[in-house]
Amino acid sequence: MFGAGSLVSGYIVDAHLGGGASADVYRVHRAGQSAPLAMKVLHTDATTYEKARARFAREFDIASLLRHPHIVAVFEKGEIPAAPPAPPTLWMTTQYVDGPDSSALVPGPDAPCDPAVVLLVAEQIADALDYAHSMDVLHRDVKPANILLTTDRSCAYLTDFGIAQLIDDVKALASNGRVSGSIAYASPELLQAQQLTPATDLYALACTMFEWLTGMPPFPRSTAFAITYAHLRDPVPALTARVSWLPTSLNAVFAKALAKDPAGRYRSCVEFTDIVSRTLRGVEVPEVRAARRRRLRP
């Protein structure tokens, strides 16, 4: 991990933004400039380096095809030399987004969802996905963590094309037979290693919106097997069973977006979000927190 002030391939590290098993992300700026960028630094070792390098290059190449106001732009990639036998460290720089990921939109028991913000973000991401599809790119891992927000939540950006592929060469399963992507948002065709289409990303967007509106994805289960079974076999739950003030007509909208058969879903992500927007227009959100404060007063 690099500390603040470290010089990395001509970039100065400002802060460590977060990380996981596969990579760390830093806010950086180029030496002599002040504009912030994000730098993704991959974790590799000698046994996984060549495969990781190929995948990292593919992520950069695919993301570089896309120029959209709601897709995080990628700028540069490189390698940091290391003393043998350690492999070089791989990095890429991208557009920096100053806010949280869209998990911040997921409501809790004392804070109902904000439909206006959910719809704004959903419409922007739907347009980004439809654009990517027009460029023959499938994201394959749409979920709240891969959607970044500005601090005022007025703008959203689709990020992390780490498992994205071109439509004409998608493979639903990795070489080890594991599903690529997050199971909570995975479509039936992805889980069954069938041909993927733009409807696969639409399904994941619908799962994401379901969570933004209700606090949970459609099929919250305790094991990966149970989640997979639910995507394949269980009926789509009614949103109004979880959030009673949502309009009942929204249940049918999401049932179509989450159809088991991709052919039964909406024709595009924007078509889906437009219908959700019309359905939610004018819906009043109950003042849960204010009501609770009144109940707690002596």
- Taking only the tens place, the pLDDT of each residue in 61-89 is 999 999 999 999 999 999 999 888 889 99
Question: What mean pLDDT do residues 130-139 have?
Answer: 97
Domain annotation covers residue 196? yes
Asked whether residue 153 falls in the same domain as residue 61, the answer is: no
- Of the residues 101, 127, 130, 141, only one is catalytic, namely 141
Residue 42: is its pLDDT beyond 50?
Answer: yes
- 47-51, 227-231, 282-286 — which one is most confidently predicted on average? 227-231
The phi, psi pair for 270, rounded to 5°, reads -65, -40
Residue 216 sits at the vertex; the CA angle it makes with 211 and 218, to the nearest 5 degrees, is: 80
Q: In which band, very low, low, confident or very high, does the pLDDT at 26 lie, cut at 50, 70 and 90? A: very high
Report the distance separating Cα 25 and Cα 96, nearest Å: 10
Q: Are residues 240 and 154 both part of a single domain?
A: yes
Same domain, 269 and 160: yes
d(CA 258, CA 236): 7
> What does the alpha-carbon distance between residue 244 and residue 214 come to, in Å, rounded to a whole number?
10
CA 274 to chain centre: 20
- Does residue 75 share a domain with residue 107? no
* Residue 190, pLDDT above cutoff 80: yes
Rounded to an integer, what distance in angstroms lies between the CA atom of residue 69 and that of residue 157?
8
Determine the average pLDDT of the residues in 123-152: 97
Burial class (CB in 10 A: 0-12, 13-18, 19+), 285: middle
Between the CA of residue 126 and those of 79, 112, 189, 206, what are the distances in Å?
34, 23, 20, 10
CATH number for the domain that contains residue 194:
1.10.510.10
Q: Is the pLDDT of residue 295 over 80?
A: no
Return the pLDDT at 179: 63
Whether residues 147 and 273 share a domain: the answer is yes
Q: From the annotation, which residues make up the binding site? A: 40
Strand, helix or coil for residue 157: strand
Which of 13-22, 99-108, 126-135, 268-277 comes out lowest in average pLDDT?
Answer: 13-22
Q: Is 234 a catalytic residue?
A: no
Percentage of residues in the chain having pLDDT higher than 70 = 92
3-class state of residue 226 by DSSP: helix
Q: In what order do the strands lie in the sheet with 74-80?
A: 7-8, 11-19, 23-30, 37-42, 89-95, 74-80
Tell me what the mean pLDDT of segment 199-222 comes to. 97
Q: Which letter does DSSP use for residue 281 in this model?
A: T
The arithmetic mean of pLDDT across residues 228-243, rounded, is 97
- Annotated binding residues for ATP: 40
Instruction: Give residue 171's pLDDT.
Output: 55
**Rounded distance, CA 28 to CA 7, Å?**
9
What does pTM read for this prediction? 0.91
Containing structural domain, residue 109: 102-280
Whole-number pLDDT of residue 288: 59
Q: How many domains does the chain have?
A: 2
* Domain assignment of residue 208, yes or no: yes
d(C-alpha 97, C-alpha 243), whole Å = 31
Instruction: Return d(Cα 189, Cα 232) in angstroms, integer.
Output: 9
Residue 62 lies in a domain: yes
